[in-house]
Chain A
Amino acid sequence: MTTGSPAAPALELRGIRKRFGDVLALDGVDFRVAAGTVHALLGENGAGKSTLMRIAFGLLQADAGTVSIDGRHMTSLTVRNASRAGLGMVHQHLSLAPGLNAAENVSLGGQGVYRPRQAMRLLHALAQQSGLDVPADARAGDLSIVQQQRLEILKALARDAKVLILDEPTAVLAPPETAELMVWIRRFCASGGSVVLVTHKLREAHAIADDITVLRRGQMTYGGQARASTEARLAQAIFPNVEPLPATLAIVPAGDIVVSAQSVVLGGNHGGVLVHEASFDVRRHEIVGLAAVEGSGHRALLEMLAALRQPTAGDLRLPARVAFIPADRQRDALIADFSLVENVALFGLGAARGLLNWGALAGRSRELIQRFSIAAASETVAARTLSGGNQQRLVVARALEHPVDLVVADNPTRGLDVQATAFVHDQLRRVAANGAAVVVHSSDLDEVLALATRVLVVFHGEVRECAVDRDAIGRAMLGAA
């Protein structure tokens, strides 16, 4: 298919087919990783990337098709067999035991007696060999997200992984950290390893990969050398017929102050300080991008702006009408078993009195479904029957149904495809143009840059203003000057 390596492919999947209920998740997909190369697996959310890799790793059983690892045909594919054959996988949601230290995590799943000193030696040897440094004594839960990711890779290397599957590894990283990871991936491949980079970031894939495979709705729409393709060609393979993004609304100059924070301090639930003495204003028509790497205290700041957390010190002025779009829609925004009408009624339920007018609520729900183009059979279906994108449309529709003064959004497009993302961005821009202030955080710096008219960076609980500039923000997110 691609690089003419005479050696057996590091990983080869043939004719993989997988069905979930009515959905054909993978429709006869071929995927081949040549030894010593980086192979990017591109596609939208729900294209089947993760499903394909979970099948390769033995986490899922394919309905049809074959898997070979390092030239060996795998007859009974389990995680154990795949690991033995030299395949390692680092999941998007890291799976470390938070209470155990790095050495213990690396040795977890081993056999026989656990010997702490031996485990420590193994970790040091691996770290030296791979160039991935992790504090050996710290509890995994106390490590930064970058260190946790390194530890996950070390775990795979401890099992002699020759082929690493990295599932969206850069989703949680700041730009300099991403660059560092890419350098490491290159080195790993130069020393004979192979990497499958699962991502939906086109630029990233194009920059680092030798080969690229694109999936769309369970089918391969592109497969070939990265050099032979262009970003435009790849984009076409990823998105069948991309709707033109809505024209950016005219930028309205900032209006009066809606949020005013003076020396605000936020304490943690179990002591400690999450945000120190933050002072800032947010004005009408502004879209303030909040940039931060995980664990910087920005989540507490968002909760404070959403009036879900009280400052422990300082002056905070918030408007009366605040709409909050939480990051975890499954946990915080929707009740999956409840109907769409009930989920509409849920919004601001704490202030409701007396009887609920279900008839009126159903009417409102139907109106929202129509106005915000939510693909739902009716307003009485359970929220769980909606796709992720349509669930998020409902969340946004519900929050922006009535005029608001402040919108606080935490990763409002996480897990959404390009059209649903465009919809959410458009809604946020519209509500700002109509006079609200918007504060949005995204772990994707590109999204912050795409939306923000101003940027605040949170690092180690310090909040400061930053120029709307990719490099400056990237440095500030890591605490560099």
Chain B
Amino acid sequence: MRKPIARALALAVGVAAIAAALILLSPNGNLGSILSAFWRGSFGTWSALVSGTLVRAIPLAIVGAGLSIAFRAGVFNIGGEGQLLLGAVAAATAGLEFTSLGHAGTVVALLASALAGAAWAGIAAVLRRRFGVLEVISTILLNFVAANLVSYLVRGPLQEPSGALPQTDLIDGSARLLRLGSTRLHYGVFIAIAVCGAAWWFLNRTAAGFRVRAVGASPSAAAVTGRVDVPAVAAGALMVSGALAGLAGGIEITGVTYALYENLSPGYGFSAIAVAILARNNPLGVLATALLFAALETGALGMQRDAGVPSVVATAIEAVVILAALSVGRGAQWSARRGPAVVAS
């Protein structure tokens, strides 16, 4: 366990680094105006909160909930980004193909996205079981494959008819998620809340969820005392997390972008790793940490827009905040959990 002093130090260093970076790199060097720009961009106004921060929090929460399940099982799925992109591809395809289903079109598109995400994660699961390839490596590599697959599709088979832009046509109106009033916030927000709630319920109330936790906490005890099929549970957790990442991609297509293009995701699949870890892999905590990370991103955009802080600085600051937050929080558990507990003899 970390000492409180080390945590306080990490926090202080993080805060100092952020403040210094902000002052040095902003044109007018006024910390007050920069912070107020951050606040206006994230929580400060109704439209920033609802149309900006909440919209961004939706994919972070859904991917984060899935990753909590994988991490609890001791499976290090770093491929949320690739699984999300495959979900987006599936949803865009379904949204373009099925135009006569009415609102069922949305459901079909979202189901397709979840299946595609699970299948993409399933590749890593098979590689693990058949060939012993570590999922940390295979999921990272599959991210690159997925990104390039999207690039190919939007320039080839799925490109919009005019061929001018590297993106698909807009999906049919019936396949789109409804929006709340005149805001950009869509019904995906309810899906995100439901997914986090369901993930918590699954982990804490069901036998299968307890198997996930037991396998992650002690594979040997789960196998010997629980007589649990450890590889099957780990593979299942990996695929569930893939399905949820895919679903998040589908929700981005049907609720936000309405079309598939490159750079559709500003790294949601990666940020969601930090979202899950900071929430200590608790899906209810993920709701809060997803909101926090979404606010960091929209706040950073606000600083760029209103205070002239370059967006690369904003991104670097975000990384520092993540590191500081993880040092202060129980980020250590992720490494501590792997080793055996030290017991005094």
A residues near B, CB below 8 A?
20, 45-46, 50, 306, 308, 324, 326, 330-338, 342, 345-356, 358, 384, 415
Contacts and interface: CB of A to CB of B under 8 A. Distances in A.
A352 B211 CA distance: 9
Given A308-B227, A348-B227, 7 more contacts: A308-B223, A333-B225, A335-B214, A346-B222, A346-B226, A349-B207, A355-B206
B227 A350 contact: yes
A332 B225 contact: yes
B341 A350 contact: no
B224 interface: yes
Contacts of A308: 223-224, 227
B205 interface: yes
13 contacts: A306-B224, A326-B224, A332-B220, A333-B225, A334-B221, A335-B218, A342-B210, A346-B214, A346-B221, A349-B211, A350-B211, A352-B211, A356-B206
Nearest to A336: B341
Contact of B341 (A326, A347, A384): A384
B229 interface: yes
A347 B207 contact: no
Given A20-B344, A337-B341, A350-B228, A332 B221 contact: yes
A21 to B, nearest CB: 9
Interface residues of B, number: 23
| Residue picked from B210, B217, B340, most chain A C-beta under 10 Å | B210
Contacts of B222: 346, 349
A396 to B, nearest CB: 12
A224 B205 CA distance: 59
Given A356-B210, A384-B341, A333 B226 contact: no
A85 B180 CA distance: 79
B216 to A, nearest CB: 10
Contact of B207 (A332, A336, A353, A415): A353
A330 B224 contact: no
Contacts of B100: none
B263 interface: no
Contacts of A345: 210
A307 to B, nearest CB: 8
Contacts of B217: 335, 337-338
B164 interface: no
B251 to A, nearest CB: 28
B210 A333 contact: no
Contacts of B228: 349-350
A297 to B, nearest CB: 19
A345 B228 CA distance: 12
Contacts, number: 82
A306 B224 CA distance: 9
B343 interface: yes
Nearest to B230: A350
A336 B341 CA distance: 8
Given A348-B226, A350-B227, A351-B227, A333 B221 contact: yes
Contacts of A348: 226-227
A350 B210 contact: no
| Residue picked from A306, A324, A348, A352, most chain B C-beta under 10 Å | A352
Contacts of B218: 331, 335-336
B182 interface: no
B344 to A, nearest CB: 6
Nearest to B224: A332
Contacts of B224: 306, 308, 324, 326, 332-333
A352 B344 contact: no
Contacts of B335: none
Contacts of B162: none
A351 B211 CA distance: 10
Contacts of A349: 207, 210-211, 214, 222, 225-228
Nearest to B228: A350
A347 B229 CA distance: 13
- Top 6 nearest A-B pairs (CB, nearest first) are A352-B207, A349-B226, A350-B227, A332-B224, A350-B228, A336-B341
A68 B114 CA distance: 69
Nearest to A338: B217
Contacts of A353: 207
Contacts of B210: 342, 345, 349, 352, 356
Contacts of B206: 354-356
Interface string B209-243: 01100100110111111111100000000000000
Nearest to A21: B344
Contacts of A384: 341, 343
Contacts of B226: 346-350
A326 B225 CA distance: 8
Contact of A335 (B221, B343, B344): B221
A50 B210 CA distance: 38
A20 B345 CA distance: 11
Contacts of B214: 335, 338, 346, 349
A346 B225 contact: yes
Given A326-B225, A333-B225, A335-B221, A355 B343 contact: no
A311 B84 CA distance: 44
Interface in B57-84: none
A50 B344 CA distance: 11
A358 B205 CA distance: 8
Nearest to A399: B225
A336 B217 CA distance: 9
A353 B223 CA distance: 17
A278 to B, nearest CB: 22
A327 to B, nearest CB: 10
A351 B225 CA distance: 12
Contacts of A347: 225-226
A336 B343 CA distance: 10
A109 B34 CA distance: 57
